[in-house]
Amino acid sequence: MNYFSSDFKLGILGGGQLGKMMLNDTRKFDIQTYVLDPSDEAPCKIGSNKFFKGDLMDFDTVYNFGKQVDVLTFEIEHVNVAALEKLESEGIKVYPSPKTLKQIQNKGTQKDFYTANGIPTADYKRFESLTDLKTAVENNEITLPFVWKSTEGGYDGNGVKVIRTMESFEGVANVQCIAETMIPFKNELAVIVSRNPDGQIKTYPVVEMEFHPEANQVEYVICPARIDDAVAEKARAVALKVSESFNHVGLLAVEMFQTEDDQILVNEVAPRPHNSGHYSIEASYTSQFEQHLRAILNLPLGNTDSKVAGIMVNLVGAEGHSGNVLYQNIETILDKDGVTPHIYGKKQTRPFRKMGHVTIVNEDIAVARKIAEEVKNTIKVISQ
């Protein structure tokens, strides 16, 4: 099929920043794009050939949108899977597949999948409600502390909480959830795996994530991870096993823990371009967004090596600021070598909302990390 400068149409469910960055590559290749998103102010609106406003969880909306395109992909997991299944049964190519998405959407099902496929992961128990979980704690079936995760609807640190005492349950939703053993770990790592329908598969280098202590959001993504080669090889091997078990097409971001004794445990996965791969736009031969397109269109996969060390800093809304966004001191950071800001185009800021990111590239990872800290302390995302 001819994808370029042709009648071919690629549909993207979700119009956020991931879609916007994907559109940079569809425009580079002159691939027609249709985008569906619930917001009139979605970042993708200006970059797509056709933009549709609609509910991603509504069966008819997703189905009718999908009937207009040749290949359908998504940049967010919260979409109507039944509509995707019907579209796939009628000959529309959906990548990653509804089957893969179904196994990943619910965190309990995702954990069961790891156990069934011999993939190392932290011990856990599933509960139908918070009430059931509290009863299990009171009966000493679960010991404190542990990590509570809602099985559905969580993102960017929402739907996850460390439960240290019974008081920690305050404000936690009474929903289906899992209680996961707390893992003492040295590092949080991630590997992005790309795979096309022909089965060609490639992994990106292991990245290391540094988290904000309160918001449970990534502050820095560092590539390459500052770990032993043997640990990096093990992480890539585990990520490949996860990918092959899911038999996915597209990108799969595999988030992992490196334990104190250098075991690799899978935390969770995302079947789409991911925050941990943003560095690749500036630092890699093939960005994760171009690679996602290559994969879902069954084109040869690109080189995943890094040209240079890269660090990504998330730009999130400052605490105490809600309303029309203002990026303070952006000119100052642009004066530093190897610094590239990406502004997502969200008009409204609120505390900890992802509003953009900045990539810092340098031959020397230590220098890049130092500049990254300067960037983080300089630029502020505030309200006007």
Residue list, annotated binding site:
107, 149, 180-183, 188, 267-268
Beta pairing class for 250-259 and 207-211: unpaired
* H, E, C per residue of 192-248: EEEECCCCCEEECCCEEEEECCCCCCEEEEEECCCCCHHHHHHHHHHHHHHHHHHCC
Q: What span, in angstroms and rounded, lies between the C-alpha atoms of 277 and 287?
A: 8
Q: What span, in angstroms and rounded, lies between the C-alpha atoms of 41 and 35?
A: 13
Beta pairing class for 9-13 and 71-74: parallel
Q: Residue 271, preceding bond cis, omega within 30 degrees?
A: no
| Residue 51 Cα distances to 19, 268, 327, 351, 360, angstroms | 12, 31, 27, 28, 32
Q: What span, in angstroms and rounded, lies between the C-alpha atoms of 88 and 84?
A: 6
Question: Which residues 6+ apart lie within 8 Å of 116 measured at CB?
Answer: none
Q: What span, in angstroms and rounded, lies between the C-alpha atoms of 308 and 223?
A: 9
User: Strand 124-127's sheet: what is its strand order?
Assistant: 124-127, 177-181, 146-150, 160-163
> Which DSSP category does 274 fall into?
-
Q: Residue 145, preceding bond cis, omega within 30 degrees?
A: yes
Q: What span, in angstroms and rounded, lies between the C-alpha atoms of 203 and 307?
A: 15
Q: What span, in angstroms and rounded, lies between the C-alpha atoms of 93 and 97?
A: 8
Q: Closest by alpha carbon to 211, among 263, 160, 266?
A: 160
Count the neighbouring beta carbons within 10 Å of the beta carbon of residue 137: 16
Residue 111, Cβ density class (10 Å: 0-12 exposed, 13-18 middle, ≥19 buried): buried
Q: Which residues are annotated as a binding site for ATP?
A: 107, 149, 180-183, 188, 267-268
